[in-house]
């Protein structure tokens, strides 16, 4: 069998109109064959390689990756795990030699799927194959921005109120998406429910996609805040929100005898988000402590610099309508403290959860002014934040303030009551 060289493309999913009827037949054959070999999730697909009359795929039992990653290779700690993460990151198509090297290292024989005609080298076809392969496997993403929206005191509401609040939050997500479209920003967003909120991420993988998701966050919390002002009863939720950038795995659950068309994610970034919001107050917006590259800039910045860059770019949101009133000015910043020189430094919080595990975060404050002169303040005021500002002269502003469950609970009822009464 001779090797067929293929190359993929970036962007959104391929259009069916751009794929010929013959190649659609190939995709259907591939889907049907993988569904049988997948066996309701018993096996997963790791990678594939094209031949002149079909496709080679490498399938392993679903439990194999965990067992394989748990064993160190050649005395190097977690080298097997690093190999697997690299294997299931990005494009799954492998050149023939590399494909067989992977199969030999893992100790599994490839499966051959015969096609009626040779698979086309066209980018839409290759991308369609990639999407099918990933649905029957598991993917690893080393760095991506993810949001977590959590409804405060959700369990205290009636089932009808819970349904209304989830629907209201879902509408805010869709409304923010449409508002960004008016500025030429398209968020290819995905979401999974947590029961009392949503994880949200941008399917596109780029540093610009991370920035766009942050703008999306700002419009969601603005829409939610305005909806709360106009609502009666408990139909619009009071939310806690967190933004973080980190790694995760992406999976597709079985639905009947097929994998779903919608993925869900789990990993370091979702764990960090959940633990951050465990200690967040109602109405608070937390941003994790991360280092990330800015788009088109060969430098890595920390969270405060990332937020400063985002605030500088907010002019592109001016003119967007919020309840019939256009945005005239907008800025965002982490809550700060005065330093010895009279300037301001970001307040960095050390959040310690019930397991004794700590992480650091910043509390975001957002101000929006509309063309009518109205001012909208989002996030918590400094006076509502737990903990006492550190003495910059004693610590140089470097040590984070420690926040635990006890200090949060002391403020939680008062903050919740004041926000509900607004």
- In this prediction, the residues of the chain whose per-residue pLDDT falls under 50 are 1-12, 389-397, 405-408, 410-411, 413-422
Which helix or strand (DSSP H or E) is residue 158 part of? Answer: none
What's the confidence (pLDDT) of residue 13?
Answer: 55
CATH superfamily of 142-421: Nucleotide cyclase, GGDEF domain (3.30.70.1230)
**Residues in Cβ contact with 44 at an 8 Å cutoff, skipping those fewer than 6 apart:** 38, 59, 60, 61, 62, 65, 136, 137, 138
Q: What does the DSSP 8-state code read for residue 3? A: B
Half-sphere exposure of 16 (CA within 13 A, CB side): 5
**Distance of alpha carbon 39 from alpha carbon 60, whole angstroms:** 11
CA nearest neighbour of 219 among 189, 273, 169, 177: 177
Q: How many angstroms separate the CA atoms of 154 and 168, rounded?
A: 13
Domain residue ranges of the chain, discontinuous segments joined by +: 16-136, 142-421
pTM (predicted TM-score): 0.85
**Phi, psi for residue 96 in degrees, rounded to 5:** -55, -50
Cα angle: 224, vertex 230, 236; to 5 degrees: 45
pLDDT tens digits along 104-146: 999 999 999 999 899 988 899 999 999 999 999 999 999 999 9
Predicted pLDDT of residue 375:
93
Residues 313/370, Cβ–Cβ less than 8 Å: no
pLDDT at 398: 53
- How far apart (Å, rounded) are the C-alpha atoms in residues 209 and 73? 35
Q: DSSP secondary-structure letter at 263?
A: -
Position 101 scores a pLDDT of 96
What's the CA gap between 251 and 254, in Å, rounded? 10
364, two tokens: 């975001």
């Amino acid at each position: 069998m001779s090797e067929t060289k293929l190359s993929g493309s970036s962007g959104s999913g391929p259009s069916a109109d751009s794929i010929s009827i013959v190649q659609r037949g190939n995709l259907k054959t591939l889907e049907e064959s993988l569904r049988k070999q997948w066996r309701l999730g018993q096996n997963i697909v790791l990678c594939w390689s094209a031949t002149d009359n079909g496709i080679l795929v490498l399938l392993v039992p679903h439990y194999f990756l965990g067992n394989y990653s748990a064993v160190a290779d050649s005395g190097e700690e977690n080298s097997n795990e690093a190999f697997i993460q690299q294997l299931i990151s990005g494009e799954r198509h492998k050149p023939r030699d590399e494909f067989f090297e992977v199969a030999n290292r893992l100790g599994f024989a490839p499966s051959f799927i015969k096609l009626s005609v040779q698979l086309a080298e066209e980018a839409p076809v290759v991308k369609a194959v990639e999407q099918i392969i990933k649905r029957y496997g598991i993917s690893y993403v080393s760095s991506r921005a993810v949001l977590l929206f959590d409804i405060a005191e959700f369990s205290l509401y009636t089932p009808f109120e819970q349904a209304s609040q989830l629907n209201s939050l879902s509408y805010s997500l869709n409304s923010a998406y449409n508002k960004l479209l008016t500025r030429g920003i398209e968020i290819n967003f995905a979401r999974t429910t947590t029961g009392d909120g949503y994880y949200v991420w941008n399917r596109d993988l780029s540093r610009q996609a991370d920035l766009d998701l942050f703008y999306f966050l700002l419009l969601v919390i603005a829409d939610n805040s305005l909806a709360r002002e106009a609502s009666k009863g408990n139909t619009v939720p009071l939310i806690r929100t967190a933004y973080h950038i980190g790694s995760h795995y992406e999976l597709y659950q079985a639905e009947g005898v097929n994998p779903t068309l919608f993925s869900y994610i789990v990993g370091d970034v979702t764990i960090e988000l959940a633990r951050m919001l465990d200690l967040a107050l109602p109405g608070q917006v937390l941003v994790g402590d991360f280092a990330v590259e800015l788009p088109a800039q060969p430098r890595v910045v920390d969270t405060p610099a990332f937020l400063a860059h985002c605030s500088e770019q907010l002019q592109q949101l001016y003119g967007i309508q919020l309840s019939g009133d256009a945005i005239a000015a907008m800025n965002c910043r982490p809550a700060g403290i005065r330093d010895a020189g009279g300037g301001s430094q970001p307040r960095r919080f050390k959040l310690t959860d019930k397991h004794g595990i700590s992480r650091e975060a910043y509390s975001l404050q957002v101000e929006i002014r509309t063309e009518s002169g109205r001012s909208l303040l989002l996030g918590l005021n400094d006076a509502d934040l737990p903990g006492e500002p550190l003495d910059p002269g004693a610590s140089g502003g470097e040590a984070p303030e420690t926040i635990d469950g006890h200090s949060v609970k002391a403020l939680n009822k008062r903050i919740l009551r004041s926000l509900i009464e607004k």
